Structure 1
Amino acid sequence: AAPLVADPLAGASAAPAACPAGASCGTVTVPLDRATPALGTTAVGYALLPRRDRSRPAAGTIVPNPGGPGAASQSPKQVERLFGRLRDDHDVLLFDPRGVGRSTPLQCPFPRDLAQHLDRLDAAVGACGRSLGARAGAYGSAAVADDLDAVRAQLGIERLTLFGESYGTYLFSVYARRHPERVAKLVMAGAYPLRFDTLGRDRAAALRRAFGLVCARDAAARRDAARH
């Protein structure tokens, strides 16, 4: 059996990164579950990359999210590639979703060579969830959206320009519903429907039905061939 080791699944994206040069980095302490204070607190890490032209106020603060979920924030090189000239007069706020990167990363054991041991993935994920106990429900999109707003409030930023890709479009849609007065602009690339099931249960049900139809037709064809 493959050995279990702490957290190789997320790899480098889960590891706390050094504060980028020139950035202001910090953490905000938030309730782990805002409805259940007894569960304690967690830390949410961020890095604020200042605009290049500091002689005037920022035209806005961009918050990117590359998707996932479960990935730490983008690197400054990725930010530069994405936003280019916008960096002249826009600050960029990078934050790590709770459980990864600078935000109190979870440590769960997974097979070291996961690609060759996918048969153990379900068991490893289940063990991780059980190890969290009552805290397992505290790592959803609504909590992450509220964490972002806590970071915004601590930094004194009035409104955010949100740029989401893939799952990031879902997360920022949740943020916009929960904190609409704090959204300056919302840009989405590869948007998820707000009611999209990120676990893919609808897709799994459709695949099961499709396989069932194929098998039924195959069985009928075999019976027809046997009669002739």
Structure 2
Amino acid sequence: MSVSAKLPNASGVKTLLPQMIAQKLSFILPLDYQDPAKGTIEVFARSLVHKDKQHQDLPWLVYFQGGPGFAAQRPVSHSGWIKRALAEYRVLLLDQRGTGLSTPVNATSLAHLDDVAKADYLTHFRADNIIRDAEAIRAILSPETPWTILGQSFGGFCVLRYLSVAAHGLKEAYITGGIPPIGRSADEVYRATFKRVLQKNRQFHQRFPDAASLLAALQQHLLHHQVLLPSGQRLTPPMLQLLGIHLGMEDGPEAVYYLIEQALLSTPSGERINPLFVERFGQMLDYNTNPLFSVLHEAIYCEMQPSNWAAHRIRAEYPQFDAAPPAPLLLTGEMIFPWMFDCFEHLKPLKGCAELLAQKTDWPRLYDTAALATNTVPVASAIYSEDMFVEMEYSLETAKQVANLKYWLTSEYEHNGIRMDGERILDRLIAINRGTSLR
């Protein structure tokens, strides 16, 4: 396998950030490691080091972003988990293949392919190849030394894939809100998460007593008036329900409430939609901007079986989400439905390949349970008991299957805890892994 690396800034110029020095790295890697003849892709990563440690020989910590289909965070300040990590590591923020500054995946980049070719291409963007990329990059940046990894949400799924097939490349591993449900089908996952979403809806309405009436008024307006989003697509009540993805985040319920309370305006000519609402609604959903999330989300749960639009089928078991007025409009969560590929402008061209991927029966296995049962890499994980996206019971089931994994079960945080209090969370996980007291 031929792997190369290049610096986009040929002059070696580095970016200066508060207390940090950042550098852009770009790697040319195989699309398909089993068949290099299929061509290459570019995978981008950004390295960070504390300005006072730039000349020190520090170990690496690689960050795997959640998603799938989202780029690594863009560092702004010396704070959060990055601050804690930079106390002893160089940090590598990996734009997983298809995201950020890596070779993009979107309707435009795939426009030259038919549906079958698009689907075949996208099969190479799951955790298995993300970890192959990581090991190829390690062979360049840290060939003699295993490195440390941190995975948030789907990034935690990547961590367990790494432990399954390339544990020799790892010194330590950390997971926040992302232990995969090994042995559980996509149907089981969504059956559990729909229950969680119902719970989050109840909590939302308890906190904001007028939310039900606000949503009802907005639903009626959408049923009787054409409301167009900036992209030109019509906003429908099922699309409105997708805002529920924020109910599982710290500060998410507040963001949803403050949006819907200003959705409608009373004018002399009648009730009108607030332009501010229309603009911000689009900004709160990522389906147009991060299509890989929609196309491959259910596939992250698949091993030798199709997803067959699991969330869509399981939703039928919870008729509360489709009840007609005057029943309350309930918001949904991190679910992908086939009708979304008819609604979101940048998903429409991917509808055919999404259907093929939903029917794919031969997804390779992602986890080696025998390897995990004999794992020797220290692993520490934060499991959030109130997590709307990753079912706690399934995380605990998997944790029992992974040797040398210790976990911290807490109700203090929602799914995005690492963004809200990352310095404390990572510090605690490091202490758990090393058997030391908190700093």
Q: Normalising by structure 1, what TM-score?
A: 0.67
User: Which residue of structure 1 aligns with residue 34 of structure 2?
Assistant: 35
Asked if the contact 1:170/1:192 (under 8 Å) is kept, the reply is yes
CA distance in 2, matches of 1:192, 1:30: 27
CA distance in 1, matches of 2:89, 2:127: 26
User: Which letter maps to 1:23?
Assistant: A
Q: Which of 165, 173, 179 is 1:192 aligned to?
A: 179
RMSD: 3.4
User: Which letter maps to 1:63?
Assistant: V
SS at match of 2:60: strand
CA distance in 2, matches of 1:53, 1:65: 23
Structure 1: which 5+ runs fail to align? 1-18, 110-126, 216-228
1:181 paired to 2:168: yes
Asked if the contact 2:65/2:152 (under 8 Å) is kept, the reply is yes
CA distance in 2, matches of 1:81, 1:168: 17
User: Which residue of structure 1 aligns with residue 205 of structure 2?
Assistant: none
1:144 paired to 2:252: no
Q: Which of 154, 167, 170 is 2:140 aligned to?
A: 154
For residues 173-203 of structure 1, give each alpha carbon's deviation from its aligned partner in whole angstroms, at most 9, with x where no partner exists: 1122121011111111112325364517555
User: Which residue of structure 1 aligns with residue 98 of structure 2?
Assistant: 99
The structural deviation recorded for 1:67 is: 0.4
User: Which letter maps to 2:25?
Assistant: G
User: Which residue of structure 1 aligns with residue 316 of structure 2?
Assistant: 208
Query: Measured at CA, do residues 31 and 66 of structure 1 come closer, stay the same or move farther in structure 2, by a change above 3 Å?
Result: closer
Query: Measured at CA, do residues 170 and 20 of structure 1 come closer, stay the same or move farther in structure 2, by a change above 3 Å?
Result: farther
CA distance in 2, matches of 1:128, 1:69: 23
User: Which residue of structure 2 aligns with residue 76 of structure 1?
Assistant: 75
The structural deviation recorded for 1:61 is: 1.4
Q: Which of 167, 172, 182 is 2:159 aligned to?
A: 172
The structural deviation recorded for 1:92 is: 0.2
Query: Measured at CA, do residues 65 and 77 of structure 1 come closer, stay the same or move farther in structure 2, by a change above 3 Å?
Result: farther
Deviates more, 1:40-49 or 1:132-141: 132-141
Asked if the contact 2:26/2:42 (under 8 Å) is kept, the reply is yes
1:53 paired to 2:53: yes
CA distance in 1, matches of 2:149, 2:175: 8
The structural deviation recorded for 1:204 is: 4.6
Asked if the contact 1:96/1:102 (under 8 Å) is kept, the reply is yes
Structure 2: which 5+ runs fail to align? 1-13, 187-296, 302-306, 324-439
Query: Measured at CA, do residues 130 and 26 of structure 1 come closer, stay the same or move farther in structure 2, by a change above 3 Å?
Result: same
User: Which residue of structure 2 aligns with residue 16 of structure 1?
Assistant: none
User: Which residue of structure 2 aligns with residue 118 of structure 1?
Assistant: none
The structural deviation recorded for 1:210 is: 4.5
CA distance in 2, matches of 1:86, 1:190: 18
Higher relative strand content = 1
Asked if the contact 2:32/2:38 (under 8 Å) is kept, the reply is yes
CA distance in 2, matches of 1:129, 1:74: 31
CA distance in 1, matches of 2:155, 2:138: 17
User: Which residue of structure 2 aligns with residue 23 of structure 1?
Assistant: 22
Asked if the contact 1:20/1:76 (under 8 Å) is kept, the reply is no
For residues 7-62 of structure 1, give each alpha carbon's deviation from its aligned partner in whole angstroms, at most 9, with x where no partner exists: xxxxxxxxxxxx7433232222111111122211111111221243245431x311
Asked if the contact 2:85/2:91 (under 8 Å) is kept, the reply is no
Query: Measured at CA, do residues 166 and 55 of structure 1 come closer, stay the same or move farther in structure 2, by a change above 3 Å?
Result: same
User: Which residue of structure 1 aligns with residue 121 of structure 2?
Assistant: 135
Task: Give the total of aligned pairs.
Answer: 183
User: Which residue of structure 1 aligns with residue 361 of structure 2?
Assistant: none
Asked if the contact 1:67/1:165 (under 8 Å) is kept, the reply is yes
Give the % identical residues: 23
CA distance in 2, matches of 1:146, 1:194: 21
Query: Measured at CA, do residues 183 and 79 of structure 1 come closer, stay the same or move farther in structure 2, by a change above 3 Å?
Result: farther
User: Which residue of structure 2 aligns with residue 44 of structure 1?
Assistant: 43
